[in-house]
Amino acid sequence: MKKVIPVIIIFLALFMILPAIADAAWRVALKNGGEFITSHYWSDDGEILLYSRGCVIGIELHSVKTIEKTKSTPRLHAVAPAADSVPTTANQEDVAIEKMETKLAEKGAATKEEEFDIVACQAKMETLKKDLNTTLTIIRQATMENDTVAKQRATEENRRISKEMYLLTDHVKENNDGQLPAGWWDGIGREESQT
């Protein structure tokens, strides 16, 4: 009896592992260089859906390069593409920020002889505050209405405005002996009507 129990346990373990070993896998290669290996995939509404790591992942059909049957078992991780080959909004935002910084640097070099106009900077900051408050209102309304598209657009606009505000703040500090005017940050977060 003592010899039979280990044999039964080994047999059951092998029986339970067999489906994981014998099941065919699919390699989903993406156009950006990434890939997923999954045991199951299907197509629905212009997306390829695949099962990975205990959840379902959706990939737009136009971003899939090929789907091939493989003999390997599914991996527990996805192969990520090279960082420079993936276009992201963050990269686009960085480019926009660099352009703004060079623009400010060029203006700063050209206007070094000219007097720094803090009143114009304060007026620009007030405009940015109003724009920021408007986007915050849109985000709040979109959240209450479960409008993810409007929320995402407003959030992106909010980030762009915030970055512009910080660039302007740095510009004022550089030209005003490291000091900001009184009330520089006042008025952010107030409700603004959408116009």
CA distance 37 to 24: 10
Stated as kind and residue range, the H or E segment containing 164 is: helix 148-175
Q: Is the dihedral of CA 54, 58, 63, 69 positive or negative?
A: positive
Query: What is the arithmetic mean of pLDDT over 169-185?
Result: 88
Supply the pLDDT for residue 113. 43
- Put residue 90 in one of left, alpha, beta given phi > 0 → left and psi -120 to 50 → alpha: alpha
Q: Specify the pLDDT at position 55.
A: 79
How far, in Å, CA of 92 to CA of 96, rounded? 6
Q: Which residues contact 184 (CB under 8 A, 6 or more apart)?
A: 122, 125, 169, 172
Distance of CA 134 to the CA centre of its chain: 22
Instruction: Provide the edge-to-edge strand list for the sheet that holds 25-30.
Output: 35-38, 25-30, 64-70
pLDDT, residue 175, reads: 87
Confidence of residue 2 (pLDDT cuts 50, 70, 90): confident
Using an 8 Å Cβ cutoff, are 36 and 25 in contact?
no
Instruction: Report d(CA 171, CA 124) in Å as an integer.
Output: 12
Residues 165, 136: Cα–Cα separation, whole Å: 15
According to DSSP, the residues that pair with 134 across neighbouring strands are none
Report whether pLDDT(48) > 60. yes
Residue 12 has pLDDT above 70, yes or no: yes
pLDDT value of residue 183: 87
pLDDT bucket at 143, cuts 50 / 70 / 90: very high
Q: Give the C-alpha separation, 165 to 128, whole Å.
A: 7
- Number of CB atoms found within 10 A of residue 74's CB: 20
Share of the chain above pLDDT 90, in %: 17
Compute the average pLDDT of residues 17-42.
76
- Choice between 160 and 39, residue whose per-residue pLDDT is larger: 160
User: What integer pLDDT is reported at residue 160 of this predicted model?
Assistant: 92
Lowest mean pLDDT among 63-67, 78-82, 143-147: 78-82
DSSP output for 90-159: HHHHHHHHHHHHHHHHHHHHHTSSSPP-HHHHHHHHHHHHHHHHHHHHHHHHHHHTT-HHHHHHHHHHHH
